[in-house]
Amino acid sequence: MPNPDLVPDRDGITFFGTLSAAVTHDMKNFLAIINENAGLLEDLAAGARNGAVPVDPRKAALISEKIRKQVNRADKMIKLFNRFSHSMDHAQESVDMEEMVLLVAGLAERIIRHHDVFLTVTPALVPCRIQAHRFDLLNLIYRAVETSCEILNNTPGENRKQVTISFGSDPLVPEICFILDTGTASGWDTLFDTSKDRALLDRVNMHVKKAGPGGNGFCLCKTPGKQ
Amino acid sequence: MGPRILLVDDEQEFVLTLAERLQMRDMDSYAAFDGPTALEQVRSHPPQILIIDLKMPGMDGIQVLKQVKQTHPGIQIIILTGHGSEQDKINCMNLGASAYFQKPVDIDRLIAAIRQGYETVRSDDQKTATFDRYPKTGSWQP
């Protein structure tokens, strides 16, 4: 159950609404595909009843497989959404940052795709944990993904729009890095510069630093000296 | 022969299954999986009915609706979306859509909207054909 002392602020509610809308859109699509395949089976059965064409067992098996695939997609999405919903249950705790990145990537897959952006997550080589409120950390990671998509879409050129997320190699200095295939380092000065973003960074005890070979990326890093 | 229908949706499984069901009802249906391809199909092989999703990568359904209504105002456009608000519905109808449905849709309701759209297309075609029989200038002799 959500902890009533940890009710999200307006920004947090907006984040929750954005991801909920994306998830329900996905669910509607899964249901629509299941609905059409069930309808196709009905059509085939009706044709067979009328003596037109017997139902091909291979065709029926194929349709059944398509329905099962959508049920699996829906089940996966519901599990992710359930974990997201429970992210408000506890105050500060030790949180696996890789797990949180994968959760955001799964929930926001449709949003990222609609930006025409490809997101790759490089597995962490060492444990990457931080003391934080899960919901706030998820919100920050989503803001980083959203910011990455905005930068890529505002960058002229024909480059493939790619974001690669990786993790720091020192477990004592946990960080999440976002490297963008922009080929330019312009427009980074105002990164996470709004009062909302600064407040969010402060709540999860993190700060932003530039990263990448050409300064074409940024990392969310644990702020030293803070729990 | 029934209406020629172009289905546009980035969910390929959805659009291909729906196309198959429409073909079983003697409707000549074909598919596109994004907005730019749909516009290309409209140019090269214009449909009588266009069924489009609103949220698609790159170019969304509203942009497709606007462009098609500018270049091919006679095409009847049906919105079939998984993510539409009441305001989206009003916007689409104001832009010239003939019907608006939320996914998952009842096939009979969709077929009824397709038939109604097809009747409009045929009626418009007949009016155009009748109009073309009249001379553009001068007096008309029955």
The predicted pLDDT at position B13 comes to 95
**Contact check, Cβ <8 Å, A114/B17:** no
Number of domains observed in the structure of chain A = 2
Residue A126 lies inside a defined structural domain of this protein: yes
Q: In terms of CA atoms, which chain A residue is nearest residue B103? A: A32
The CATH number that applies at residue A163 is 3.30.565.10
Residue B138's pLDDT is 44
Within an 8 Å CB–CB cutoff, is residue B58 touching chain A? yes
CB A38 within 8 A of CB A60: no
Q: Quick one: pLDDT at residue B29? A: 96
In a domain, A194, yes or no: yes
Q: Which of A25, A37, A115 sits opposite B82 (nearest CB)?
A: A25
Judged against a pLDDT cut of 80, whether residue B133 lies above it is answered with: no
Asked if A156 and A193 sit in the same domain, the reply is yes
Q: What is the mean pLDDT of chain A?
A: 89
**pLDDT band at A1; cut points 50, 70, 90:** low
A104 lies in the same domain as A181: yes
| DSSP state string for B21-87 | HHHTTT-EEEEESSHHHHHHHHHHS--SEEEE-S--SSS-HHHHHHHHHHH-TTSEEEEEESS--HH
Q: Do A40 and B82 lie within an 8 Å CB cutoff?
A: no
Token pair 């546009």 is found at B8
Let me know how many helices (H) and strands (E) chain A has, helices first: 6, 7
Q: Given an 8 Å threshold on Cβ–Cβ distance, is B11 in contact with A114?
A: no
B105/A contact by beta carbon, under 8 A? yes
In a domain, A4, yes or no: no
Domain that holds residue A201: 93-222
**Alpha-carbon gap: B11 to the closest alpha carbon of chain A (Å):** 7
CB contact under 8 A, B55 and A114: yes
Model pLDDT for residues B10-43, shown as the tens digit of each residue: 999 999 999 999 999 999 999 999 999 999 999 9
- Worst-scoring range by mean pLDDT, A110-114, A179-183, B102-106? A179-183
- Do A28 and A109 lie in a common domain? no
The two three-digit tokens of residue A155, written as one number:
């960058």
Residues A103 and A199 in one domain: yes
- Comparing A109-113, A152-156, B110-114, the range with the smallest average pLDDT is A152-156
Same domain, A79 and A108: no
Higher per-residue confidence, A87 vs A189: A87
In this prediction, residues A73-100 reach a mean pLDDT of 94
Mean pLDDT for all residues in chain B: 89
Question: Is residue A223 over pLDDT 50?
Answer: yes
Q: Is a pLDDT exceeding 50 seen at residue B141?
A: no
Q: Residue B133 burial by CB count (10 A; 0-12/13-18/19+): exposed, middle or buried?
A: exposed
Quick check: is A5 in a domain? no
Binary contact (B83, A28; C-beta < 8 A): yes
Measured CB to CB, residues of chain A less than 8 Å from chain B are 21, 24-26, 28-29, 31-37, 39-40, 43, 47, 66, 69-70, 110, 113-116
Cβ of residue B26 closer than 8 Å to a chain A Cβ: no
Min Cα distance A18 → chain B (Å) is 12
Task: Inform me whether the pLDDT recorded for A22 exceeds 90.
Answer: yes
CA dihedral A15, A18, A19, A23 (to 10 degrees): 160
| Mutation for testing the A interface, residue in B21, B63, B108, B109 having most A CBs under 10 Å | B21
Same domain, A118 and A133: yes
Domain boundary at A42, A60, A86, which? A86
A113 CB-near residues (< 8 Å, 6+ apart): B57
Task: Judge whether A3 lies within some domain.
Answer: no
Mutate to test the interface with A, among B103, B106, B107 (most CBs of A within 10 A): B103
Closest-CA distance, B125 to chain A, in angstroms, reads 32
- Does B3 have pLDDT greater than 70? yes
Same-domain status, A82 and A107: no
Please answer yes or no on whether B14 and A39 come within 8 Å at the CB atom.
no
Let me know whether A59 and A76 are in one domain: yes
- Say yes or no to pLDDT of A183 above 70: no
Task: Give the model's pLDDT for residue A50.
Answer: 82
Q: How many CB pairs under 8 A join A and B?
A: 57
Distance CA A173, CA A218 (A): 15
Instruction: Say whether both A82 and A97 belong to one domain.
Output: no
The answer to whether residue A1 is domain-embedded is: no
Residues of B in contact with A31 (CB under 8 A): 103-104
Put simply, whether B85 touches A (Cβ < 8 Å) is: no
Quote the pLDDT of residue B132: 54
A69 — pLDDT class (breaks 50, 70, 90): very high
Do A192 and A126 fall into the same domain? yes
CA of A119, closest CA in chain B: separation in Å?
A: 15
Is residue A19 located within the same domain as residue A53? yes
Residue A171 in domain: yes
Same domain, A177 and A198: yes
Evaluate if residue B142 carries a pLDDT over 50.
Answer: no
Where a domain ends, among A27, A62, A86? A86
Per-residue pLDDT reduced to its tens digit, B85-114: 889 999 999 999 999 999 999 999 999 999
**pLDDT of B2 strictly over 80:** yes
Q: What mean pLDDT comes out for the span A58-68?
A: 96
Predicted confidence at residue A210, as pLDDT, reads: 86
| A225 CA: distance to closest CA in chain B (Å) | 43
The structural domains of chain B, ordered by start, are 4-130 (3.40.50.2300)
In a domain, A170, yes or no: yes
Highest mean pLDDT among A111-125, A196-210, B36-50: B36-50
Q: Is B36 on the interface with A (CB under 8 A)?
A: no
pLDDT in tens, B63-90: 999 999 999 999 999 999 987 788 999 9
Which residue has better confidence, B70 or A182? Answer: B70
Q: Nearest by CB to A32, which of B14, B20, B58?
A: B14
A47, A71, A86 - which closes a domain: A86
